[in-house]
Chain A
Amino acid sequence: MSYSKHNTLLYVENLSVAYGDKVIIKDINFVEKDVVREGSVTGQVIAFVGRSGRGKSTLFRALTGLVKPTTGKILIADTLTDGGNDAKEVEEGDVGFVDQKYTLFRNKTVYEALLFALRNQKMTKEEKHDKIMSYLSEWGLEKAKDQYPNELSGGQRQRTAIIEQIFCSGHYMVLDEPFSGLDVGNIEDAKNAFNLISSLHSFNTIMYSTHDIELAVELADSIYVIGYPTIDGEHAHYGTIVKHFDMKALNLAWKEFGLGHLEIVKQIKTAMLAS
């Protein structure tokens, strides 16, 4: 499948995050560019895998601007200007974030929450209403429209959280373990959601973490393994990128899960166990 890389969408250089004296992640460098394929709108789907406690959630908090990097910088494309070639440092609110627990406003119904997410858009009341209703039906949430978070199932909460972020943030979205606690049906829904987001705009970039390596390999076109690096034969106790798989270059992206994918799963597991 032919593709080409265009504007840089995400540029992370020398990133580290420490809580107090404790360095959680360090020496993180990576670049993701806009992938363009003939004949279809293709966003970027980037997976982060790694064993528990290696710093995936911490990296995500940095990527979403919720925690300030201790060193280094994170640049995203300034999509508000035309051409999309300007870069800006990430700030809170630039990158959508759906956390591990699908947190929502506890005092807002699904409809109210989505209306709140649209509060800064220059649209009339009717336009907002129509937009919300069309998303609700597309994502199978019409019946839950007037329910509060504590009256929703895990899957419904997650979808509400995703739509909120689509409404509010630009092209970037980070999802921390979006597949945990979902049944097979919900996982299909979430996968469809990924495809939907990705097909909306070429700049759309989904970053997610998962403990399900198969799902990472199946969905992502770029996979990063976060783990403790081995330096001079010794494990260091901070997370960093220990391996990167560019599924596009490997000619495995946007394809049915096959033998090639299985081989990558194996390699990822080896890399994870060693870190």
Chain B
Amino acid sequence: MKYLVKPFEDVGKNTARMIVIFWIGALLLIWFLTSMGERHLFPSPQQVLTGFVELYNEGLVVHIASSLWLCVIAIFVAIIISLILTYLSTIPVIKPIAIAVSKLRYLPLTGITFYLAILISNARTMQIWVLVTFMSTYLTTSLLSMVNAIGEQEFDHARSLKCNRWEVLWEVVVKGRIDHVIEVIRQNLAIVWMMLVTVESILVAAGGLGFLIKNSDKFMNHGRIIALQIVILTLGLSIDFILSFIRKTFFRYSKI
């Protein structure tokens, strides 16, 4: 047993799995125990289940679809903007613009929403553009460091094969790093997902998970809130898993 608490110790696959199962069991046990009495911090599993059923009856699926759709559109627009900026950042005149966009990630949310509100009246469009603005800055930051991480030898290799500079850009940076782009999206997904729910609850539009959270807050319905949190967490992890799966299946050479 002693080896289980030894730093850097390599335990077998089965043991590792047992450890995970142990912790999940422990978590559930703690939940049961701490939610048994009259007064408790967490709702009991029973309450959560009820919350879940309630949510379902209120059209949880539609809200999920609405959030996912918002997420897809925002990521799509943001990644296009960031990719264009990043690829063009290899051109000296464009470089400062890309770097500036990346620095804008320190701007506060409120400032941006304020100016966007002047331009856009529709709440849904507004949600999209707030997200796009934010994600573009984060994605551009990650993508820029992806390009910086490309070694000089890779460029030299392409140049020695008679690639002109545009071909070098195309072959080494664009085609040669598509798998990295997926990884960048995946790594920034947590921020996006968190932002998305927040933005949805601030700028209430047709619906979405953020809208549900806000509603649950109002009623102080603990079971509902936890049920919703579980849904949001699971959805986020699923997208994460799918992206990682796509990268590994479609890009055999991708070992990041």
Residues of A within 8 A of B (CB): 61, 64, 66, 92-93, 95-97, 99-101, 103-107, 116-117, 120, 148-151, 161, 164-165, 168-169
Contact = CB atoms under 8 A, between A and B. Distances in A.
Contact of B153 (A103, A151, A165, A168): A103
Interface string B147-176: 000010110111111110000000110011
Interface in B33-50: none
Given A105-B176, A106-B253, A149-B253, A61 B156 contact: yes
Contacts of B154: 103, 106
B176 A107 contact: yes
Nearest to A99: B153
A120 B162 contact: yes
A97 B160 contact: yes
Given A99-B153, A150-B255, A105 B160 contact: no
B253 A66 contact: no
Contacts, number: 64
A96 B160 contact: yes
Contact of A66 (B160, B175, B255): B160
B251 interface: yes
Contacts of A103: 151, 153-154, 156-157
A99 B156 contact: yes
B6 interface: no
B252 interface: yes
Contact of A107 (B157, B162, B175): B175
A168 B161 contact: yes
Contacts of A106: 154, 176, 253
Nearest to A67: B156
Interface residues of B, number: 21
15 contacts: A66-B160, A92-B160, A93-B161, A97-B156, A97-B157, A99-B156, A99-B157, A103-B151, A103-B157, A107-B178, A107-B179, A150-B253, A151-B253, A169-B161, A169-B162
Contacts of A99: 153, 156-157
Interface in B121-169: 151, 153-154, 156-163
A66 B153 contact: no
A43 B152 CA distance: 30
Contact of A148 (B161, B162, B175, B253): B253
Given A99-B153, A101-B153, A105-B171, A93 B255 contact: no
A145 to B, nearest CB: 14
Nearest to B150: A106
A96 B149 CA distance: 24
Q: What 8 pairs across the A-B complex have the smallest Cβ distances?
A: A93-B162, A148-B253, A97-B160, A103-B153, A103-B157, A92-B159, A168-B161, A107-B176
B176 A66 contact: no
